[in-house]
Amino acid sequence: MFRKMLSAAAIFAALSGSAFAKEPITLWFWGAPPNLQDALQQALIDPFNASQDKYELTLDYNNDVDNNVRVAVLAGEGPDLVYTSGPSYIAPLAKAGALEPLDDYSKKYGWGEKLLKPVLDTCNQLGHLYCMPPSLISDGMFYNKALLAEKGWAVPKTAAELETIMKAAQNDGLYASVTGNKGWQPVNENYASIFINQIVGPTKFYDILANGAPWDSAEMKKAIDESARWFQAGYLGGKDYFSLNFDQSISLLSQKKSPFFFAPSIGFQWATNYFTGDQAGDFQFAPFPQMDPSVPYPMYDLGVAFTLSINAHSKNKDGAAEVLNMIFSPEFAARMAKVWPGYWGIPLKDFPKDPEATGLTKSFLDAMGAISTAVDKGTFGFKIGTFFPPATGELMYKDIEAVWLGKETSEEMLKKASALYAEEKAKGLTQPYPKPAP
């Protein structure tokens, strides 16, 4: 009898527990290292789960997240929150009915009023808002403040000033800049973006992408050829370009082996391993020096490192939207600036400030403030990895390397890019382009 009563009590307890169990919200994320997983746990997962009693957010860290998410959601399965490596991945998933339109959630939470319109517009595709962009990034110039001071070099604002310093650095036995594509050839896209935006300029680049202007203009050829000249002059990592990655490059920058590191603002996340203690304030970010006087300065190319969407087959869409709303808040942006700077550049119109911030946090907050202001004013270009459809984007980072190595001409590269872009645009794989200020 006692056993029967105990069994009944146990059953009642189990039923009661299940009645009050939180509904799961799942997100598959890339395989971040343990310290960054801890940062996300403290800044997002724990605060969200403590903020209400209906949902429980969990993250699964996966090194092949892009492929695994795509396969799962196209099969009507997968996580509630869908990660992709940028807006250019969204259209095929949206066309397949795998993503939930977010227009109603945007109105409910006021995302359009809080966020920078040009950045949010990257997720307005096929007539709906299908994703949210938690990571505004821009290519620019990282530099070691202490090394520049020791050498008496001012932070360059023009390409001529920059080249003078790079030559001096080479003469002193240093790298002109440290960077490289070891293990990740798409790094080349950063430099294609820099040279095209700086030499072609945002307005003409917009006309190529949105209005069908020719790809083989004199400015486009000059941009590709100038990138090749820089590579061949050793300005991009010298002879070690193919044997350096971002982590190694920032390590060398911290050792004063080079004054510069040209990369997207996401580079702050690697600096946490090297610019520590008294060195923390030496890692600084500036707009890329002006290459053509007709292009405004400062000018930042607009990029989005990744997006988050809601799975059309999710059973907890409202809970997933609540997670997104927390991510797109000043409080979350401020928390992440302290523990994971660089990656979580939430595109807020009013990016949080912290007058007491120091070191990397201060550098990142200053950089995001400058980038956000420029984007809000319309002084922005177009980052290739964000705005190009997949095949054209791949061609750009592969073929620019071929031009650097003398295996292809800029004319040949641009002819191929033009044809491929037209083909992908005809298939509906391009996105609307925010128009920069004239």
In the chain, where the domains are located: 2-131+306-342, 138-302+380-426
pLDDT of res. 2: 36
Quick check: 376 pLDDT over 90? yes
Quick check: 266 pLDDT over 70? yes
Quick check: 91 pLDDT over 70? yes
Class in CATH terms, 138-302+380-426: alpha beta
pLDDT of res. 5: 37
Q: Per the omega criterion (within 30 degrees of 0), is the bond before 34 cis?
A: no
What does the mean pLDDT of the chain come to? 94
pLDDT of res. 14: 45
> Percent of the chain scored above 90 by pLDDT?
92
pLDDT of res. 4: 40
Pairing of strands 128-129, 124-125: antiparallel
Q: Report the topology of domain 2-131+306-342.
A: D-Maltodextrin-Binding Protein; domain 2 (3.40.190)
The 10s digit of each residue's pLDDT in 327-365 is 999 999 999 999 999 999 999 999 999 999 999 999 999
pLDDT of res. 238: 96
Quick check: 19 pLDDT over 70? no
Q: Give the pLDDT band (50/70/90) at residue 15.
A: very low
Q: Give the pLDDT band (50/70/90) at residue 7.
A: very low
Quick check: 6 pLDDT over 60? no
pLDDT of res. 18: 44
The 10s digit of each residue's pLDDT in 193-218 is 999 999 999 999 999 999 999 999 99
The 10s digit of each residue's pLDDT in 390-410 is 999 999 999 999 999 999 999
Q: Give the pLDDT band (50/70/90) at residue 432.
A: confident
The 10s digit of each residue's pLDDT in 228-239 is 999 999 999 999
The 10s digit of each residue's pLDDT in 27-81 is 999 999 999 999 999 999 999 999 999 999 999 999 999 999 999 999 999 999 9
Q: Give the pLDDT band (50/70/90) at residue 132.
A: very high
Query: Mean pLDDT across the stretch 1-19?
Result: 43
Quick check: 309 pLDDT over 70? yes
Q: Give the pLDDT band (50/70/90) at residue 20.
A: low
Quick check: 1 pLDDT over 60? no
Residues 301/218, Cβ–Cβ less than 8 Å: no
The token pair that represents 188 in the structure block: 């080349």
> Percent of the chain scored above 70 by pLDDT?
95
pLDDT of res. 395: 98
The token pair that represents 34 in the structure block: 């343990």
**C-alpha–C-alpha distance, residues 227 and 120, integer Å:** 30
Cα-Cα-Cα-Cα torsion 267, 270, 271, 272, nearest 10 degrees, comes to: 130
Query: Mean pLDDT across the stretch 253-274?
Result: 96
Distances from the Cα of 295 to the Cα of 90, 230, 290, 436, angstroms: 31, 19, 7, 12
Do the domains 2-131+306-342 and 138-302+380-426 sit in the same CATH topology, yes or no?
Answer: yes
